[in-house]
Chains A and B, each alone.
Chain A
Amino acid sequence: MIEVVDIHKRYRGRSVLNGASFTVEKGQITCLIGINGAGKSTILKAIMGLTPLKSGTIRIDGQPMDKNLYESIAFIPDHLTMPPGMKLSEGLRFMQDFYQSWNANRAEELMKFFSLDQTERIGNLSRGTAAKFNLVLGLAQDTEYVLMDEPFSGIDMFSRGLIAEVFSSHLIEDRGVLLTTHEIGEVEHLIDRALLMKDGAICRDFQCEQIRSEEGKSIVDVMREVYQA
């Protein structure tokens, strides 16, 4: 379980995170929802140790973030994070060289699934193709958790379909997934749990199926209640 407890962060004199607390369970797709600038990406970066916090704690399976935990948690940012001069095959090799959790067979399977050409240079990839390769790099690791930042942002309809397909496949099953988005329509049917952010904190935390069956509301309905109130 990923535990985020009362985290605070200031950026350029503004309070970006203001006591956010939540957990991410294995076997669930949890979605962090908020308007632009709500601090969603900052939370993912903080979990990955990519930005220091003013206060608060983050634990992964009871442990504070440590280099060895990068073998059990994968991060898929909203852009590709490999040098543009590298070929896709070199990118895969790089991952294999550094991560013990790298699963070469799964990488092969994903490359075929997304019809990616290994001889292509990363700098020449279109935005959609780069997003697919980004998913390959994140999902081909045998990790317990996957963090995804805006996986559908700026991607064409057909690529979105393919990426959505991944969410309901064995590639995600049993893992704890935390994703951020402000385009909830794309993922509403895929997610188990929603965390709504407002003013740097979590203001609503609910199971999507439960709120649908008990209150007859969609995530968008709850978002309207929270953000238009």
Chain B
Amino acid sequence: MNRYLKLVHMEVDRFKYILAGLMSLTLICQFGAVIWWTKSAVSNRESGAWNNGGSMAYSLNPSHNGNLSFTEVISNTQFLFMIPILISIGVLAIYVFLIWYRDWFGRNTFIYRLLTLPIARRHIYFAKLTAILLFIFGLVSFQLALIPVEKLIFNLIVPSDMRDPSYISNSIYANPALGMLIPWHFDSFLVYYVIGIIAVLVIFAAILIERSYGRLGILYAILYLGISAFLLLFPMVGLGLDNLNGYLYPNEIFAIELVMCVAVMAVSVWLGCRLISKKITV
């Protein structure tokens, strides 16, 4: 356990600068967006430009009283709020592959050392998985922590008589990327993140298949990805989870989907651990 934690620490340490970069990018883009938009909106109102139809919120909602709300800031700065989130998702998606391949390629192939550590090799697998999950939830937590600070900045810039109250939860859903990152319902949160974790597990298994069987491994890995995707999508697409006229009840289709998810997860973890212990080659 102790050595597993050391491996997790090492994996986090190797990604720390990229993680800090993503966090800084999110902070700069979102703080910048809040400050820039809020200041210009306040100055518009103070100069009377708002009365001439200068506000998008006013044109969308004629009953608008001219006051500013934090939700309005987020709905008017979609791009700057969304771009760091999308970049972070993209970087993490690439790193799911790099966390393995960086140990094989380059001048110093660290995988030799990792595989000859006096520990069960499944610790290497779980340490990499844990690190990816820590990066995902670390960035989500950071985003969650930023929103109240952004609201505070908004409150500091906008005079109280020009401010409309707003709930943070409403503000989150003013941006589709934020809404997907932090869903309204807990069951949606579970569904999104469990699907994400299954995707990571399937990709890990595919990478280890490719690393274990050489050139033929590429074919096997693609086949594994295809079969997993089919098993996960078939109950929804083939049996029609939303189709009320289908042969099976929606509850039955949901149960089949659940079984498929658990089966794909279990097989991916078992396969990953088995390949890294018995079949992997450097």
Contacts and interface: CB of A to CB of B under 8 A. Distances in A.
Contacts of B119: 67, 98
Contacts of A75: 112, 116
A77 B107 CA distance: 12
Given A67-B119, A70-B117, A94-B10, A80 B108 contact: yes
A154 interface: no
A49 interface: yes
A68 to B, nearest CB: 6
Contacts of A170: none
A82 B119 CA distance: 17
Interface in A86-102: 94, 97-100
A225 B186 CA distance: 76
A77 B112 CA distance: 8
B275 to A, nearest CB: 10
A203 B3 CA distance: 43
A64 B6 CA distance: 27
Nearest to A98: B117
Nearest to B2: A97
B282 interface: yes
Contacts of A80: 107-108
A122 B281 contact: no
Contacts of A71: 118
B39 interface: no
Contacts, number: 71
Nearest to B216: A12
B110 A99 contact: no
A69 B118 CA distance: 7
A50 B117 contact: no
Given A50-B281, A52-B279, A122 B108 contact: yes
Contact of B109 (A69, A70, A81, A100): A81
B110 A70 contact: no
A45 interface: yes
A94 B117 CA distance: 10
B282 A123 contact: no
Contacts of A50: 112, 115-116, 280-282
B108 A68 contact: no
Of the candidates A50, A97, A98, A99, the one having the most CB atoms from chain B within 10 angstroms of its own CB is A98
B214 interface: yes
B185 interface: no
What is the interface of chain A mostly: helix, strand, loop, or mixed?
loop
A84 B111 CA distance: 13
Given A80-B108, A81-B108, A97-B6, A12 B215 contact: yes
A64 to B, nearest CB: 12
Interface string B145-164: 00000000000000000000
B14 interface: yes
A123 B112 CA distance: 17
A79 B108 contact: yes
Given A12-B215, A52-B278, A83-B14, A67 B108 contact: no
A51 interface: yes
Nearest to B10: A94
Contact of A12 (B115, B116, B214, B282): B214
A83 B120 contact: no
A88 B95 CA distance: 25
A85 interface: yes
Contacts of A79: 107-109
A45 B115 CA distance: 11
B212 to A, nearest CB: 8
A48 interface: yes
Given A12-B214, A94-B10, A49 B115 contact: yes
Interface in B94-123: 106-113, 115-121
A74 to B, nearest CB: 9
Nearest to A75: B116
Interface string A44-67: 010011111000000000000001
Given A79-B107, A79-B109, A123-B108, A99 B118 contact: yes
Interface of A: 11-12, 45, 48-52, 67-71, 75, 77, 79-85, 94, 97-100, 122-123
Interface of B: 3, 6, 10, 14, 106-113, 115-121, 214-215, 278-282
11 contacts: A48-B115, A48-B116, A50-B116, A67-B118, A70-B117, A81-B108, A81-B110, A82-B110, A83-B110, A98-B6, A99-B117
